[in-house]
Amino acid sequence: MPVAQTKSISFFLGKIEEELIAVDTPSKPENLYNPVKYALSKGGKRIRPLLVLLGCEWFGKSWEKAIKPALAVEMLHNFTLVHDDVMDDAPLRRKQATVFKKYGSNAALLSGDVMLVKAYKLVSQCPEKNLKKILDTFSYMALKVCEGQQMDMDFETSNSVSVQDYLQMIRLKTAEMLAGSLKLGALCAGAEDVQSETIYEAGINLGIAFQLMDDYLDAFGNPEKFGKQKGGDIIANKKTFLYLKSLQLASPKQKEELELLFSNSKNFAGKIEKTLSFYSELNIEKESMLLIRTYHQKANELLDSLNGNNETKEILNSLAEKLLSREQ
Question: Smallest distance from the beta carbon of 160 to ligand IPE, in angstroms?
Answer: 21
Residue 185 backbone dihedrals phi, psi, to 5 degrees = -60, -45
**Residue 211 in 3-state DSSP?**
helix
The set of long-range contacts for 16-19, using a CB threshold of 8 Å and a minimum separation of 24, is 16/46, 16/49, 16/50, 16/53, 16/70, 16/71, 16/74, 17/46, 19/67, 19/70, 19/71
**Non-local CB neighbours of 259 within 8 Å, separated by 6+ positions:** 159, 247
**In the complex, residue closest to Mg ion by CB:** 88
The verdict on 74 binding Mg ion (CB under 5 A) reads: no
* Distance in angstroms (rounded) separating the CA atoms of residues 274 and 278: 6
Of 57, 74, 176, 214, the one binding Mg ion (CB under 5 A) is 214
173, amino acid identity: K
b/e sequence 2-35, b meaning 16+ C-beta within 10 Å: eeeeebeeeebbebbeebbeeeeeeeeeeebebb
Stretch that binds Mg ion, among 25-33, 65-73, 78-86, 248-256 (CB under 5 A): 78-86
- Binding segment for Mg ion among 8-16, 62-70, 94-102, 208-216 (CB under 5 A)? 208-216
67 binds, among ligand IPE, Mg ion, none (CB under 5 to 8 A by kind): none
Query: Minimal CA–CA distance to 238: which of 327, 148, 301, 310?
Result: 148
Q: Does 201 bind ligand IPE (CB under 6 A)?
A: no
Nearer to ligand IPE, 191 or 217 (CB): 217
Residue 208 makes contact with ligand IPE by CB under 6 A: no
312 binds, among ligand IPE, Mg ion, none (CB under 5 to 8 A by kind): none
The residue with its CB nearest to ligand IPE is: 44
Options 214, 282, 296, 320; binder of ligand IPE; rule CB under 6 A? 214
DSSP state of 250: S
- Cis upstream peptide for 29 (omega within 30°): yes
Contact between 201 and Mg ion by CB under 5 A: the answer reads no
| Partner that binds at residue 201, options ligand IPE, Mg ion, none, CB closer than 5 to 8 Å by kind | none
DSSP-assigned states of every residue in 284-327:
HHHHHHHHHHHHHHHHHHHHHTS---HHHHHHHHHHHHHHHT--
Q: Which of residues 29-48 bind ligand IPE (CB under 6 A)?
A: 44-45, 47
| N residues, the chain | 328
Q: What letter does residue 92 receive in the DSSP assignment?
A: E
Q: How many residues bind ligand IPE (CB under 6 A)?
A: 16
Question: Within positions 79 to 98, which residues make up the interface with Mg ion, using CB under 5 A?
Answer: 84, 88
Nearer to Mg ion, 74 or 84 (CB): 84
Instruction: Determine, following the binding rule CB under 5 A, whether residue 226 of this chain makes contact with Mg ion.
Output: no
Chain positions 156 to 185 lying near ligand IPE, rule: CB under 6 A, are 173-174
- Residue closer to ligand IPE by CB (options 81, 319) is 81
Interaction site with ligand IPE (CB under 6 A): 44-45, 47, 80-81, 84, 88, 90, 94, 145, 149, 173-174, 211, 214, 228
